[in-house]
Chains A and B, each alone.
Chain A
Amino acid sequence: AQKITQTQPGMFVQEKEAVTLDCTYDTSDQSYGLFWYKQPSSGEMIFLIYQGSYDEQNATEGRYSLNFQKARKSANLVISASQLGDSAMYFCAMRNTGNQFYFGTGTSLTVIP
């Protein structure tokens, strides 16, 4: 069964605007970790941000923030003040207590100058 759902295959955003990338997850675990990764066209996987299932505050890392709504099982990534270098694939992932990571199918973000 699919554990992570990213429903936006492609997104466009104007430079300097904010954008939200959607992620919903499915788990029966009480404890889990949620992650976002960036994959530029060069192919490497870059860790962006982490949110724990028991964290009460939304995680933030610079221009990245994670809008965590536990009851809705969503963990949306918000990028503020988009830059041209933000154009990339973005993957949402979940780590469960069984030590397995599940990734979504990704969202391709294009920043328009």
Chain B
Amino acid sequence: NAGVTQTPKFQVLKTGQSMTLQCAQDMNHEYMSWYRQDPGMGLRLIHYSVGAGITDQGEVPNGYNVSRSTTEDFPLRLLSAAPSQTSVYFCASSYSGLSYEQYFGPGTRLTVT
């Protein structure tokens, strides 16, 4: 049982490049989400999904796209990277319902130059 996996662990992009951060979970969780963590800002929700084929925007969705074609996978796409997107990105999953905690992946440290 691998839990939540994220790739890559580190990435450096040039402004304007695009890339996809991968996230997968093997716990059959309906709910998956992406956060970015910036110093002094806590974790901010980018996008989330309550099941395959269903996605919705969080607090800071601009510049990011997601899709959920399977229960297991929830990739995050940066369309045209900007220095403001330099951050640590976490993927998380949980069962749907108020009482369920989220399980987090190890994070991806992204630098945009």
Residues of A bordering B, CB below 8 Å: 4, 6, 9, 31-33, 35, 43-45, 47, 50, 52-53, 91, 93, 95-97, 99-106
- The verdict on A99 contacting B43 (CB below 8 Å), with A43-B88, A43-B106 known, is no
Q: Closest residue of chain B to A6, judged by CB?
A: B42
Interface size on B, residues (CB 8 A): 26
Docked pose: A96 CA to B99 CA in angstroms: 10
Q: Contacts A33-B98, A52-B99 known; A101 to B106 CB distance under 8 Å? A: no
Q: Which of chain B's residues have a CB closer than 8 A to the CB of A31?
A: 98
What is the bound-complex CA distance between A31 and B97, given in angstroms?
10
Q: Please determine whether A101 and B45 come into contact, CB atoms closer than 8 angstroms.
A: yes
Closest to B40 in A: A105
CB proximity to A under 8 Å, residues B32-81:
33, 35, 40-45, 48, 50, 58-59
